Chains A and B, each alone.
Chain A
Amino acid sequence: MTALLLFVAMTLAPIPGGYSGPAGSQKESGQRVALVIEATSFMPASATVHVGDRVTWTNKDPFPHSVTSRDGSFDSKEIAPGASWTYRAQRKGTFAYICTLHPTMKGTLTVK
Chain B
Amino acid sequence: MKVHTLTALLCFVAPVAIVTAQGVTDAQIASIVVTANQVDIDAGRLAISKSRNPDVKAFGDLMVKDHTGVNKSAVDLVTKLHVTPQDNPTSQALKAGGDMNVAHLKTLQDADFDKAYVDHEVAYHQQVLDAVDKTLIPGAKNEELKALLVKVRPAFVAHLDHAKMVQAALSGKK
Chain A interface (Cβ within 8 Å of chain B)?
38-41, 61-64, 81, 101-105
Nearest CB in chain B: distance from A100 CB, A: 10
Q: Say what secondary structure dominates the interface of chain A.
A: loop
Q: In the assembled complex, which residues on chain B have CB atoms less than 8 Å from the CB atom of A61?
A: 69, 151-152, 155
Q: In the assembled complex, which residues on chain A have CB atoms less than 8 Å from the CB atom of B72?
A: 62
* In the A-B complex, the 9 residue pairs with the closest CB atoms: A63-B69, A62-B69, A40-B154, A62-B73, A63-B66, A102-B158, A40-B155, A104-B158, A39-B151
For the complex, give the distance between the alpha carbons of A104 and B65 in Å: 17
State whether B69 touches A81 (Cβ < 8 A): yes
Q: Looking at the complex, which one of B70, B152, B153, B155 makes contact with A102 (CB distance below 8 Å)? A: B155
Q: In the assembled complex, which residues on chain A have CB atoms less than 8 Å from the CB atom of B154?
A: 39-41
Nearest CB in chain B: distance from A102 CB, A: 4
A62-B72, A62-B73, A63-B70 known; A40-B158 Cβ under 8 A = yes
* A-B contacts, CB under 8 A, total: 42
Q: In the assembled complex, which residues on chain B have CB atoms less than 8 Å from the CB atom of A63?
A: 65-66, 68-70, 155
Within B139-174, the residues touching A (CB, 8 Å) are 150-155, 157-158, 161-162
Nearest CB in chain B: distance from A107 CB, A: 14
In chain A, what residue has the closest Cβ to B154?
A40
For the complex, give the distance between the alpha carbons of A61 and B152 in Å: 8
Nearest CB in chain B: distance from A50 CB, A: 30
Output the residue of A39, A41, A64 with the most chain B CB within 10 A: A39
For the complex, give the distance between the alpha carbons of A102 and B151 in Å: 15
Q: Does B62 contact A (CB under 8 A)?
A: yes
Nearest CB in chain B: distance from A101 CB, A: 6
Q: Looking at the complex, which one of B62, B152, B153, B158 makes contact with A105 (CB distance below 8 Å)? A: B158
